[in-house]
Structures are given as structure tokens and as C-alpha cells.
Structure 1
Amino acid sequence: MTSAQSDPPLGAPANQAGQAMICTHRMLLAAGLAACLSTAGCSVGPDFSPPDPLLPRASFFGKPEPQPAESANLEAAIPDPPAEAAWWRTFRDPVLTSLAERVAGANLDVQTATARLSESRAQRGGVAAAALPSVNGNGQYQRTLYSKNGLLSLLGPDAHVPPVSIWQTGFDASWELDLWGHVRRQIESADAQVETAEYQRRDVLVAALAETARDYIALRAAQTQLAIATETLKSSSDILELTRTRAQKGLTTGLDVENAAAQVENVRAQIPNFSNDVENQINAISLILDEQPGALRSELAQPKAIPPAPPRAPLGVPSGLARRRPDIRAAEAQLHAATANIGVAVAEFYPSVKLNGNLELNALSLNKLWTGNALQYMAGPTVSLPIFEGGRLTSTLNLRTEQQQEAGLQYHKTVLQAWHDVVNALNAYGSEQRRRDSLRAEVEHSRTALMLSRVRYSNGVGDFITVLDAERTLLQSQQQLAQSTAAVSTNLVQLYKALGGGWEQTFPDQPQQTAATAQLPQ
């Protein structure tokens, strides 16, 4: 460490300043050369190529769509705009639309995923900083008194060194040249992790939207069941009064009266359960929207019909599912990150070159710290070559390779699971529609049967057991119809979720591929 012991001779500060300028110029040249070397450097390891999802192009069932000549009751697939991103609008229910449009901003799971995305972006910034030079400033003051019983004792008993004050300030810089793409692969992996977090957030939003729609449909189904039970209770009470009147006239027995009363209580016992289901569904929707229990009661307590589902839905091109489903795109991004990490592991086998520089002012007194003679500097490269690491580098490379294989398998499973989800949802949607149509006809027949049995019973030509059975059959068929109607709409929600819809407007991305209206399985 040099120090300024006396005033510099005339002209020395200018000479020192000139030397500093020359040093700075050389460091700039070295930095420019390093930038050229870094730009020209290669990136070792495999380059990522998006995998083929191996999805069909014409039909989710792995075969061309049937033509009208093959099946008279099937429509051919016709060109159609891409499926509406706001799929909940297909139900034409303004309350459901209002709830769905509030999910992205209110749902806590979406907010948590957004926070994780911000964390991922911050981590990417930390990784990217390694590609830039590191510059640190420093300042130091130190006062030292040397022990007379230490090294000074070797100079004799009269040796004396007064306390010394040292003033120092300056900066140091270092820059590792990315000759083999070590840092670039790290940044590539970090970018892929950010992309993964983005699509995971979108996947959370898709799930939250679907859950909102399912809970809303369940709420309307519970209200419908409650209305059916209330209406049936009124009808059963009328029959009970009729039976009592006939019993008073001696036209029937007390057994019929008791059976009629039992039917009334049976129906009345169902009402509390349906009322409880209504409250539970209101609370479930409130939770999704970050509201307190019962906060949405004024908005949702008014009974409404179950949102009807259209018989057909625009599905889009099956091969485009890999671009629409956010979980598939997240799995692809994870595979990208795993591939880039292999390049990071390979680069560890190559030499690393780092440019180091240090520029300081050092003096024994503060008034001489800013003179030319106080200047000192150091600059030069450092080369590091791994020679023996005990197998660490090889093991790390093997680990990254296996992780890439795992990510590839996970991507394949995600795509296959998405394909299964869509096919299962299509089958469930089509079969439940057919079941609902049959139940609708059953309700009409049961209502007619109950009316006829009551007329016959009132006229004294029919027995009460027939009336009671007809009433029970009608109640059961009405309840099953309500359940089936809700199931059709819920299955459509599941289909849209399987297609990955709902995040496009809230979180914009690349335009979707051309879509077509696919026929539901019959």
C-alpha cells in the first residue's frame, strides 16, 4: 500500500492524471474487447425446440368429423371464429357475467399467482445482472498504533513508530466474460421460469372462473329444487285437505289421511336442506370473490332459473389445444428451462475469464488524499479452469439431463391429460343432454298422470295410493330434471375449462389459431 509522504514535485499531479487517463482508456479498450468476445462467444448445450404435442388436427376423437352423408343427425364442422374468450356469456345470464368479470381482480388465488409471477421476474433480474460488470465504491479510514512488544522490538528497545492514519477511497470493478454462454443460458432458463409463472397464473384464473360458474349453477339448481319442493308442498297440502274432506264424508279411510299427511311432512323435511344448500353456494361464491360470508346474499338470494346451455359449443381446432391451455404452455416453458439448465451445467466444464480492475486514492493524511501521488490502480484478467471437482460437474450435468427428461415426460402427460379432459367433457355434455331431454318428457307425463289420478280420486273412481304414487313420481322426476339441467350447464363449464378458455382478455397473449365448430358426440 503506497502513501503520500511529501508534496509532489511541480507537474506531478498532471502526470499522474495523464497516467490515470491512459489507464482508464486501456480499461475501456479491454471492456470493449470483452464485449466483442462475449458477443462472439458460443452457447454450449442443447438449444430448445418446442415439442410436437401430437394432437389430432380434425377431431378430438382422433378421426375426421362425420359428414352429413354418414349421419343425418350430425352437422358438418364449419369454419367459425375462435371460441369466445368470455365463454360465460354463452349462458346469457347477466349475474353470472358480472361475477366472472370480477374474479381476476378479486380472487385470492389469482392474486397469489400474480405475486409469484412478480417473484419470478425479480429472480430473473438477479440472474441477468451477472451479464453486466460489477462496480463497487469504497471509502476507509484507519488509525494504527504498532505494538512495541511486537515486530518493533526487533529494532531495539528505543524503536518507536507513532500512530499512523490511513485514508483511502476508490472503486473496484469485475466482469466475467460469458464466452461459453453460461450466463446466457441462465438468463434463458430464468426467462422460461417467468413464462411458466405467467401461464400458471392464467391456469389459476381459468380454474377460478370455472369454479365461479359451477358454484353459480349449483346455487340456481338449489334454488330451483327449493322452488320445486315448495310447490310440491302446496300441492301435497291440497291433497291432504281433499283427503280429510272425503274422510269426513265417509268416502275414504283414515289411512289415506295419514298417508297424505306423511307425504306433506316428507316434502316439508326437504326444504331446510335446499335452503342450506342455497346459503352454502352463496358463501362459496363470496369466498372466490374475497368477500365475507353472506356478503353477496342481496345480489344472489333472488331465485333465478338455471343458466341454460347451448346444444353446441365452438371448440376450435384440436391441434390448437396446446396453445390455448395454459397448463400445457406452462409445462412447455418448464421443459425450456430444464433444457437451458443443461447448457449452464455444460458451461461449468469450460474456463472462466474475468476482468478485474481497482482504482484507489491512498494517503496518510486527508489533505493529501486528493493529490496525484495518492493514486494507485490494478487491472488485469483472471482465468479459472476446473481441474478436479470430485465428480461434481459430471453429477450436476447428469442431474440436469434427467430433469429435462422428467420435464419432457411431464409435458407429454399434461398434453395427454388435456386431451382426455376435452373428450370426457364432450362425452359428458352430450350424454347429459340426452338424459335431460328424456327427463323433461318424463316430467310432462308425470304431471299429466298426477292430474288424471286426482280427477279420478275426486270422482270416487280411483284410489288414493295411485294419487300418492303419482305425486311422488312427479316430485322425483322434477328433481332429477333440475339436477340434469344443472349438470348440462356444469358439463359445459367443464368443457370450456378443458379447452383452457377464460384468460385471454384479462392476460393478453398471441392470437389463437383458426377454430371450427366441432360436433358433440351423439
Structure 2
Amino acid sequence: MGHKLHTVAGISVTFALAACTVGPDFVRPDAALPKRWFTIGSAAAPASAGSSAAVHEPVDPAWWQAFHDATLTSLVRRLADANLDVQTATVRLAESRFQRGAVASARLPSLNGSARYQRENLSDVSAKGSLIDRLLGSPNSTISSAKPTDLFTSGFDASWELDLWGHVRRQVEAADAQVQSSEEQRRDALLSSLAETARDYIQLRGTQTLIRIANDNLKIERDILQLTQTRQQKGLTTSLDVENAAAQVEAVRAQLPSLEQQEAQQINALSFLLDLPPDALRGELATGKQVVPRPARVPIGIPSELARRRPDIRAAEARLHTATANIGVAVAEFYPSIQLNGSVGFDALKVASQLTASAIPTSFGPSISMPIFEGGRLKATLQLRKAQQVEAAIAYHRTVLEAWHEVVNALVAYRTERQRSARLARQVEHLRQALSLARDRYNDGVTEFTTVLDTARTLLQAEQDHAQSTTNISTNLVQLYKALGGGWELTYPGAPPEAPINAQGASTAKKPT
């Protein structure tokens, strides 16, 4: 027995020294990003726009704090624990780790145990001759009763496939890359949920601002209506002016129901993101000021960091790694498979006799199998894996290029919208002065009422445009941080595979806040 163990160890060492890993080794692709953002020189708006400068500084992972809004920060901190997309991605990450463990198990020997009890009771014919001999009265047909026989069998079977060509190692490598891809997909789900939460919250505050503007203008229109009614009573104007003023009041009031509908939908959207029933956040979000970001500096990092920071780029790189490792798996299929097999058994008619030397049969020996004819399956599989690697390389390049475009477009959108907002703010100030003058001149009988009416309509539209532009500035800044991969992109830990699952199927592992 000891001699056999030494033989096994010697063969194993010999095969291990001769082992190699076939197929190409993965080389991290070059993202081919520039050293500087070419739009950064034009990213600053004029000083009168209250602009903030884009600078080559590290992106703040907690970018939502740039809005200085306590309610938004509270929503974001609750998101990682509550969001269903993040929970689903967390479970998928655990699944990929379990799959990796199943693949890695092939590197170790397999050992199976078995035990069987069998009781045999031979027939008289089997024991004392054939039935024909007995019927003919042959001398060999003496009838006697055979005694039952007990047979106890137990043992162990072991097998170990020697990974001489790296077949299993490449499979484990591909599984590791798949785990990495799942981790990045979970980060991407969190990043997308963060951006969606911020956008929905900012748009909600923008809608509430539009409601406030409508109510403020409704008060102005009612004052104008009262002015026309007073002038009519004095005989200074006609009913036409009164009716036009009343129609304008109703036109402003008609805007409120649709705005209130948008407000309710946006509150419900935020509730859904936090796994809450509809209208659950109304008490918390019913009132609030419009989000107006005015950071003095907007850190955007450098382009070369984008490939490290954006989870979708890292996930595409991991998929390329998986495709490269699968080529090695396909190449290894062409080589012989060598397996060491051994078994130890215990066979005896009595349980107590199983441990005797004569009752212990053993066997050991290697086996080899080699593909001879597969009908072109192996070659087709190898070509398929190579084509999949090319596809993954193209997908990686596309992901990087899309990310680059997203950052540049977000920078331009943020810069131009701030310029537009500054000009709209000046328009609103001019129109307010114009409306005040028009009302005074109308009251003095110098100006027609249509001038007052048109100025009031123009002011309402300008105030709404300015409020919407202010909202767009904030959402464009969110889009910029999302495009830059801002968030818990590197500090968000992976949930352990053994993390318990609650009744809803979600991992209960703690998330950062």
C-alpha cells in the first residue's frame, strides 16, 4: 500500500512538472483615451453666469453632496439597501461566485464512498443440478436446501484528472473573469440607480417650482382681473378687457392639474426606487426648494482614469478576459486527457471480516483518452471561441468610445445650459419691470390692455423656461457625474456568497452609507 502511494506521488509530481497552459494569455486592452478632455478649455461659462469651472481633479465618489441638499443625501444613503435592481445584481454576483466554486472543484481529486448489503438465496436447481436431471432421477439430482448467503460490500473510489494542458485552469480563469464582470454589473446598477434617484428628485423639485410660479402668476393675473373690473365699473374700459383678463386667469389655473400630476408621478418614481409603496414619500417630499447647484469647481478627473472608474468599461474588459480564457479551454480539448483512478473495497460474508487483509481488494492505475474523430466539433468550437473574443474586443472598444462621447456631451450640455439659464434670468428681470410699467400705464389710461396681457403671458413663459433651465443644469451635472463613473465605484464591497436571503429573495448583507 505504501509503495502504491509513493508511486502515485511520483507520477503526480512528474505530470505537474510537465504541465502547461495552452491558449493565449489575457493582455489588458489599451483604452486609447486622450490625456486631457479637449472640451475643458471651453467648459467654463462667463463670470456673469455664476459658472463653475471643470478641473482635472479626482471625481468625488459622493458627488451628490455638491447639491447641498439634505433630503437628496438621505435618499441616496437609503438607496443601496433598498433598491431592487441593486439587490438583484447582488444575488447574481453571489451566483457567479458559486459557479466559480463549482468550476474550481475540478482541480481537486474526487472521492466517492459506497456501501451495499446483499442477501442471496440460491434455488435448489442452482445448488444441486439442473431441473431435467432431477426429473430424470439422475444421480446428480439430489434435492437439498441451499443456505442463504450474506454479502457485505463497501469501499472508496477516487479519481483525479491531471490538468496537464491547463483545461481546468483556463476554466477557472474564465470563471474568475465572470465574477469580476458580475461585480462591475452590480456597481453599474448602483451607479445608474444613484443617477436616476438624483434626476427624479431634481425634476420633482423643478416641478414644484413650476407649481409655485403658476400660483404666483395666478395671483398676478387675479390682480390684473380686479384692476380691469374696477376700471370697468368706473367706465374707463370695456367688458372685453375683463373677459380677456378672466380668460388669462383660467389659462394659468389650467396648468396646475398637469403639474400636480407630474409631481405625484415623480414622488412615486422615487418611492419605487427605494422599494416603497406609491405616495410613501409624499410627507417627506411635499415641500422643498429647487435644487440649484453652484459648485465653484467641478472635478472631472482625467480621461485615462475613465476606464478604471466606469463599471461598464471594467465589465466589458472582464468579458473580453472571459472570451480569451475560453480559447484556452477549446485548445486544451485537442490534447489527451490523463486521469488517475484508484479504489479500495471491503468485501466479506460477515461484517467483522471486512477489515481483514484478504477482504480488501484494491486497484490503481492511470487512464488516458484522446480525441481521434469528432466530426469537426473541436475545430468549430475553437473558431467559435476566437470569433467570440473578437466580438468582445469590439464591444470593449465600443463601450469605451460611448463613455468618451457621454462625458464630452455632458460637459457641453452643462456648460451651454448654464449660459442659457443666465440669459433667461436676465430676461425675467426685464419682463418683470416691463409688466410693472405696463400696469401703471394701463391704469393711467396710456396703454392698451393687450399690452399688459401679452407682457404677463411672456413673463409667465420666461419664468417657467428659467425654472426648467435651472432644473436642466442640475440634471446635466448628474449626467456628467454618471458619465464619469462617479459613485461607490471602488468602495462598494462585495456581499459574501453566504449572505442570508430574506423572504423577498434579497441579500441582507450590509451596504455602505
Shared fold (TM-score greater than 0.5)? yes
Letter in 2 for 1:170: G
Moved more, 144-153 or 173-182: 144-153
Unpaired runs of at least 5, structure 1:
1-19, 510-522
Moved more, 339-348 or 460-469: 460-469
Match among 330, 348, 352 for residue 315 of structure 2 = 330
Moved more, 301-310 or 412-421: 301-310
The alpha-carbon distance between structure 1 residues 36 and 251, as it changes in their structure 2 partners (threshold 3 A), is farther
1:429 counterpart = 2:414 = yes
Q: 1:166 Cα deviation (Å)?
A: 1.2
Letter in 1 for 2:260: S
The alpha-carbon distance between structure 1 residues 88 and 400, as it changes in their structure 2 partners (threshold 3 A), is same
Judge conservation of contact 1:93–1:307 (CA < 8 Å) in 2.
Answer: no
Match of 2:85 in 1: 109
Judge conservation of contact 2:43–2:412 (CA < 8 Å) in 1.
Answer: no
Match of 2:115 in 1: 139
**Structural RMSD (CA):** 2.4
2:363 partner SS:
strand
Instruction: Give the distance between the partners of 1:469 and 1:289, measured in 2 at CA.
Output: 44
Match among 30, 38, 57 for residue 16 of structure 2 = 38
Letter in 1 for 2:166: G
Letter in 2 for 1:421: E
The alpha-carbon distance between structure 1 residues 266 and 163, as it changes in their structure 2 partners (threshold 3 A), is same
The alpha-carbon distance between structure 1 residues 58 and 355, as it changes in their structure 2 partners (threshold 3 A), is same
1:360-391: CA deviation from partner (whole Å, max 9, x where unpaired)? 11112223223232111111111111111111
Unpaired runs of at least 5, structure 2:
135-140, 495-513
Match among 507, 512, 516 for residue 492 of structure 2 = 507
The alpha-carbon distance between structure 1 residues 114 and 67, as it changes in their structure 2 partners (threshold 3 A), is closer
Match of 2:424 in 1: 439
1:269-299: CA deviation from partner (whole Å, max 9, x where unpaired)? 1111111111111110010011111111111
Letter in 1 for 2:385: R
Letter in 2 for 1:125: G
Letter in 2 for 1:449: A
Match among 7, 12, 25 for residue 47 of structure 1 = 25
Q: 1:60 Cα deviation (Å)?
A: 4.7
Instruction: Give the distance between the partners of 1:409 and 1:79, measured in 2 at CA.
Output: 29
The alpha-carbon distance between structure 1 residues 76 and 283, as it changes in their structure 2 partners (threshold 3 A), is closer
2:299 partner SS:
coil
Match of 2:449 in 1: 464
The alpha-carbon distance between structure 1 residues 351 and 304, as it changes in their structure 2 partners (threshold 3 A), is same
The alpha-carbon distance between structure 1 residues 152 and 338, as it changes in their structure 2 partners (threshold 3 A), is farther
Match among 249, 258, 269 for residue 284 of structure 1 = 269
Q: How many residues align?
A: 480
Instruction: Give the distance between the partners of 1:90 and 1:486, measured in 2 at CA.
Output: 15
TM, length-normalised to structure 2 = 0.89
Match of 2:241 in 1: 256
Match of 1:99 in 2: 75
Identity %: 57
1:394 counterpart = 2:379 = yes
Q: 1:31 Cα deviation (Å)?
A: 3.9
The alpha-carbon distance between structure 1 residues 307 and 476, as it changes in their structure 2 partners (threshold 3 A), is same
Match among 385, 389, 408 for residue 404 of structure 1 = 389
Instruction: Give the distance between the partners of 1:144 and 1:432, measured in 2 at CA.
Output: 91
1:369 counterpart = 2:354 = yes
TM, length-normalised to structure 1 = 0.87
1:83 counterpart = 2:59 = yes
Letter in 2 for 1:34: S
1:392-436: CA deviation from partner (whole Å, max 9, x where unpaired)? 111111111111111111111111111111111111111111111
Q: 1:43 Cα deviation (Å)?
A: 0.3
Match among 173, 178, 181 for residue 188 of structure 1 = 173
Q: 1:65 Cα deviation (Å)?
A: 5.0
Q: 1:303 Cα deviation (Å)?
A: 2.6
Instruction: Give the distance between the partners of 1:152 and 1:329, measured in 2 at CA.
Output: 78
1:369 partner SS:
helix
1:141 partner SS:
strand
The alpha-carbon distance between structure 1 residues 338 and 371, as it changes in their structure 2 partners (threshold 3 A), is same
What pairs up with 1:202-351 in 2 under 5 angstroms?
202-310=187-295, 312-351=297-336
1:281-339: CA deviation from partner (whole Å, max 9, x where unpaired)? 11100100111111111111113222424365211111211111100000000000000
Judge conservation of contact 1:141–1:168 (CA < 8 Å) in 2.
Answer: yes
Match of 1:383 in 2: 368
1:359 partner SS:
strand
Match of 1:476 in 2: 461
Judge conservation of contact 2:310–2:484 (CA < 8 Å) in 1.
Answer: yes
1:204-255: CA deviation from partner (whole Å, max 9, x where unpaired)? 1110000000000110000000000011111111111111011011011100
Letter in 2 for 1:30: V
Q: 1:461 Cα deviation (Å)?
A: 1.4
Judge conservation of contact 2:106–2:168 (CA < 8 Å) in 1.
Answer: yes
